[in-house]
Structure 1
Amino acid sequence: MKKNYTKIILDLMMAITFVLLMNPRVLNGLPFHEIAGLIIGVAILIHIGLNYRWVVNTTKKILDPKLPKKTRFSYLINILLLISMATVIITGILISRVVLPSFAVQEGHSIRGIHGFSADATLAFVGLHIAVNWQWVLGICKKAFKSKEGKLRKGVLVSVILSIAILAGGIQWFSSTASSNTVDFKQEQMQQSGQSSNVNTGNTTNTLQGPPNGDFREGKIHGKDGHGGSSNPFLVVLNYFVIWAAIIIPTYYLEKRILRNKRKSRDFKPQVS
């Protein structure tokens, strides 16, 4: 049961972090966007590790006709989610300007387009992933936050809040550190570029290509590829959680209706004497 609690807390933190990544202007701008993106990648590996048995067992039975359709559909969603998230991370590295600038591809407009499209696809797949597992989520949350007597478990609630606070504080601290290092790095590059221009052409004009320092903090480097809207973290989380709700609620009730129809057809099925 403790493993399930760990899954819920990890998944909640991943969900909050992911929706914050959908707007590159949130918090510290691009430094937060890139650092949190790499952290999400590590969290995904942990998530897969916690569900390792299900992944292995389902993979072995995926061609078995007796495998429930819901399990098969969930497996397909997970595969698509893994592919889309891997695409987001890889393309993010290829357009990095703060954490891994040495891997950045010059004039990577098409890569930014793929990055934005795969991020939107991941948002949809995450919504479907939650919807398919919503019954399990509700069951674990009820057991986690309520005792057998129906009383609220304050200790578990405090642990979840502290975990989210620690995650947010840690990412913000790393983002601030990366931002200051980026400014120093850019200034050093500008000085070196100016010196090189003096030696070769006698022209002191700065030839360094790339966005000005302020763009790193505001996320302007994404241009049209970045998602608009408010950069307030609370509003961003609320906005994308509403989008997920619009995916989860219809899917959940559609699944219930399908199951109810199956039960009715099974109950009214004539028995052969």
Structure 2
Amino acid sequence: MKKSNYVKFGLDIIMAVIFVLFFNKRVLGGLAFHEIAGIAIAATFFTHVLLNWTWVKKVTMKLFDRNLPFKTKLGCFLNVLLLISMAFIIISGILVSKVVFPNIDIGNDRWFEMSHITISFLVLILVAVHVGLHWNWIMNVLKKIFSIKAPIPLFSLLVKFATVALLVFGGYQIFSSNFIMHLQGVPGIFDSSSSHFEGEEHFERFNNSEGDQKWADHQFDRHLAQDGERGFKRGNRHFESVNPLGVIGTYFSIMSVFIIITYYLDKIATRKRRSAVDTGAKL
């Protein structure tokens, strides 16, 4: 395996860690880290897209190829959807910036702020599904990194135990962090009067900058602070833990649920296809 692939694999892990840290605006210095790290990720993302624009066009065109297997077409669709979603998150994040670009003023900044948050939770699932579809490749890379050449019974047992533990813990985090509630807001971003945003006050503009900041803090707290960590309310303000490991554990466990489900669904589908091919060959 080429060394460049190891580097890419390492960068993917680093970007994944940074991405889940974005779900808590107080971690590692607060909103400043959220926006500055976000800009760095944005620059990396758009540079990657531009350098691989030919590949992006090929992947997009493959969606219209009827001869492609369903799994390949699904992978292409996910790649395009991730590209669009990530671009939207980055652009909307810049438009509602409070630290890096505080002077940007748009007419419907409330919609962009809520959409930025809601789509981020959707992308978390899309990334997890993408990882699940490529899990065999990931495991092969890890085996090469740690020089594992033969199956290890104890390792297989630990993997099964970890799978069950992640499903239980991740499922708990999904419900305790109101993850489902955030996903229910996805249809609502296309309708400013939707009940997903709890009324028109989410889109009413305050008459002064102080009101704007209080409203933004309140909404950001409601949607990003519920990360499964313990917090408490004092008055109208919500205090939460800012432990990066806690945030990483919470959102990686949520991702692991969708990774595991995707992996096993793909495994079942592959077995059915092979069984159908074997049956046809015998006939």
Equivalent pairs: percent with the same residue? Answer: 38
Q: TM-score, normalised by structure 1?
A: 0.68
Taking the TM superposition and a 5 Å limit, the aligned residue runs for 1:113-262 are 113-146=114-147, 209-210=209-210, 222-229=220-227, 230-262=241-273
Change (3 A) 1:7 1:247: same
Question: What letter matches 2:143 in structure 1?
Answer: K
Q: Aligned-pair distance for 1:21?
A: 0.2
Which portions of structure 1, spanning 4 or more consecutive aligned residues, are displaced by more than 3 angstroms? 45-62, 104-107, 147-150, 210-213
Taking the TM superposition and a 5 Å limit, the aligned residue runs for 1:11-26 are 11-26=12-27
Q: TM-score, normalised by structure 2?
A: 0.66
SS at match of 1:27: helix
Change (3 A) 1:69 1:234: same
Query: Matched residues in 2 for 1:242 and 1:116: separation?
Result: 19
Show the counterpart of 2:173.
none
Q: Aligned-pair distance for 1:122?
A: 1.1
Question: What letter matches 2:13 in structure 1?
Answer: L
| 1:4 aligned onto 2:15 | no
Query: Matched residues in 1 for 2:32 and 2:109: separation?
Result: 19
Q: Aligned-pair distance for 1:243?
A: 0.5
Question: What letter matches 1:259 in structure 2?
Answer: T
Change (3 A) 1:84 1:60: closer
Contact 2:60 2:80 in 1 (8 A): no
Change (3 A) 1:3 1:46: farther
Q: Aligned-pair distance for 1:241?
A: 0.6
Show the counterpart of 2:275.
264
Unaligned runs of 5+ in 2: 152-206, 228-240
Change (3 A) 1:7 1:68: farther
More RCO (CA 8 Å, sep 6+): 1
Question: What letter matches 1:27 in structure 2?
Answer: L
Show the counterpart of 1:175.
none
Contact 2:59 2:80 in 1 (8 A): no
Unaligned runs of 5+ in 1: 151-206
Deviation by residue 1:88-138 (Cα, 9 ceiling, x = unmatched): 111111111111112244773222111111111111111111111111111
Show the counterpart of 1:180.
none
Question: What letter matches 1:33 in structure 2?
Answer: H
SS at match of 1:72: helix
Q: Give the total of aligned pairs.
A: 212
Larger radius of gyration: 1
Question: What letter matches 2:224 in structure 1?
Answer: G
Change (3 A) 1:7 1:46: farther
Contact 1:97 1:104 in 2 (8 A): no
